């Protein structure tokens, strides 16, 4: 081993990643902003059961970002494919 080589550096100041248990649920407004669509579209997707969501206290709808990310990736892919035609 070369004496000038140093051990791998670790960043102790890095922000901890949110675990699924620590993740704050998103409101319909937040989900619409995250997905780049309107609130009305989010409500329509919930009604059609096309988007993963949670019901809180009966009527309130919440979303987990970790569940919306794959949906958003799929949604964006579909838009790109449609534009290519």
pTM: 0.64
CATH of the domain at 66: 1.10.1660
User: How many domains in the chain?
Assistant: 1
81 or 21: which leads in pLDDT: 81
Per-residue model confidence (pLDDT) at position 6? 47
Domain interval for residue 40: 28-84
Per-residue model confidence (pLDDT) at position 23? 84
Q: Is residue 18 part of a domain?
A: no
Q: What are the structure tokens assigned to 28, written together?
A: 């319909």
Among 32, 19, 31, which residue's Cα sits nearest to residue 65? 31
45 or 23: which leads in pLDDT: 45
Beta bridge partners of 60: 56
> Tell me: the pLDDT tens digits for 32-62?
999 999 999 999 999 999 999 999 988 899 9
Per-residue model confidence (pLDDT) at position 74? 84
């Amino acid at each position: 081993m070369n004496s000038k080589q140093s051990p791998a550096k670790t960043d102790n100041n890095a922000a901890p990643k949110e675990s699924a248990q620590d993740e704050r649920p998103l409101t319909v407004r937040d989900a619409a902003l995250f997905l780049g669509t309107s609130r009305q579209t989010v409500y329509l997707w919930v009604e059609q059961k096309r988007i993963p969501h949670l019901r809180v206290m009966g009527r309130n709808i919440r979303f987990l970002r970790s569940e919306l990310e794959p949906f958003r990736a799929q949604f964006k892919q579909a838009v790109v494919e449609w534009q290519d035609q």
